């Protein structure tokens, strides 16, 4: 009999772009007994280096990076990873996956901020792979599929991860468009953004930033028929009550289980 696949989601950050009490939303997915993981986004700065170590993840086990979009709070942590890879070579060549726009932005940032000798070292330590809507690839023991969430602002991709007996779908941090439903429907685990609670809508004005509330996320998860909903990319003014209040609000419209992880928390997906 095949051993049950162990799939772990580790949150390195759970906040939106301007949070100061938690890191920007980024996370690791591991689907192997050996603990190799793929990092999804890197947050907005060199705190990513601290977060990886604080979460108990090791550098050699970092197999690949997947970038959803080029906003500051997701992409600016990447040059720090590149520096880490370039100057602590362990022989592994990491793959950085992203759609054409996000990789173009990353190259621009690297050209402007890393010297030529540095870029030379980086090019020996990483390989870039451009992914298009629907492209599949394998990393960290998982079958992965990139898909365009059809956000109405900057181009943004989500990620689908499948393993024997389970499926996880990340719909990104922005307004998800129903055109992507074929990728996101019926997930065992659906992860998406909840900028704030309904009661604080007037204060945070999530709609102006292309975001929604915990209730919006619950309605989406209910419509897509998810079994579990993970809420991330939130404000950080109510961290001590966040789990309780966001779960309650999303749970009023979503019949499945709601998870509101803290930074550095790991959720066993299988």
Return residues touching Zn ion (CB under 5 A): 73, 173
Choose between 173 and 249: whose C-beta lies nearer to Zn ion.
173
Tokens describing residue 268: 């066993």
Burial of 227 (0-12, 13-18, 19+ CB in 10 A): middle
Choose between 73 and 160: whose C-beta lies nearer to Zn ion.
73
Burial of 62 (0-12, 13-18, 19+ CB in 10 A): buried
* Beta carbon of residue 106, minimum distance to Zn ion (angstroms, whole number): 16
* Beta carbon of residue 19, minimum distance to Zn ion (angstroms, whole number): 10
Helices (H), the chain: 47-54, 72-75, 78-87, 100-113, 116-125, 181-184, 201-204, 214-224, 239-251
* Beta carbon of residue 204, minimum distance to Zn ion (angstroms, whole number): 14
Residue linked to tokens 């998406």: 192
Burial of 115 (0-12, 13-18, 19+ CB in 10 A): exposed
Choose between 167 and 242: whose C-beta lies nearer to Zn ion.
242
Choose between 173 and 216: whose C-beta lies nearer to Zn ion.
173
Choose between 73 and 235: whose C-beta lies nearer to Zn ion.
73
* Beta carbon of residue 22, minimum distance to Zn ion (angstroms, whole number): 13
* Beta carbon of residue 72, minimum distance to Zn ion (angstroms, whole number): 8
Planar angle of CA 251, 19, 68, nearest 5 degrees: 75
Counting every residue written for the chain, the total comes to 270
Give the DSSP letter of residue 261.
P
Planar angle of CA 158, 91, 143, nearest 5 degrees: 30
Choose between 73 and 188: whose C-beta lies nearer to Zn ion.
73
Pairing of strands 266-268, 8-13: antiparallel
Tokens describing residue 196: 């704030």
* Beta carbon of residue 16, minimum distance to Zn ion (angstroms, whole number): 6
* Beta carbon of residue 232, minimum distance to Zn ion (angstroms, whole number): 9
Q: Which residue's CB comes closest to Zn ion?
A: 173
Choose between 63 and 173: whose C-beta lies nearer to Zn ion.
173
At 153, is the secondary structure helix, strand, or coil? coil
């Amino acid at each position: 009999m095949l051993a049950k696949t162990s799939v772990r989601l580790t949150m390195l950050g759970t906040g939106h772009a301007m949070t100061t009490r938690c890191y920007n939303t980024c996370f690791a997915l591991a689907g192997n007994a050996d603990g190799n993981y793929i990092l999804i986004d890197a947050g907005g700065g060199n705190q990513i280096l601290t977060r990886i170590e604080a979460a108990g993840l090791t550098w050699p086990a970092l197999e690949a990076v997947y970038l959803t979009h080029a906003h500051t709070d997701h992409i600016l942590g990447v040059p720090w990873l590149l520096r880490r890879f370039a100057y602590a070579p362990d022989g592994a060549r990491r793959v950085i996956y992203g759609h054409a726009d996000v990789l173009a932005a990353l190259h621009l940032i690297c050209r402007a901020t890393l010297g030529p000798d540095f870029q030379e070292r980086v090019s020996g330590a990483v390989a870039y792979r451009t992914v298009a809507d629907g492209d599949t690839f394998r990393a960290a023991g998982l079958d992965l599929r990139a898909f365009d969430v059809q956000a109405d602002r900057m181009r943004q991709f989500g990620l689908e991860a499948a393993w024997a007996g389970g499926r996880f779908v990340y719909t990104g941090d922005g307004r998800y468009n129903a055109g992507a439903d074929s990728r996101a429907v019926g997930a065992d685990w659906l992860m998406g953004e909840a900028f704030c609670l309904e009661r604080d809508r007037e204060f945070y004005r999530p709609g102006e930033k292309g975001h929604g509330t915990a209730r919006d996320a619950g309605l989406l998860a209910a419509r897509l028929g998810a079994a579990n909903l993970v809420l991330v990319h939130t404000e950080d003014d109510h961290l001590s009550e966040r789990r309780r209040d966001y779960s309650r609000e999303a749970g009023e419209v979503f019949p499945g289980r709601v998870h509101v992880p803290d930074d550095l928390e790991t959720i066993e997906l299988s």
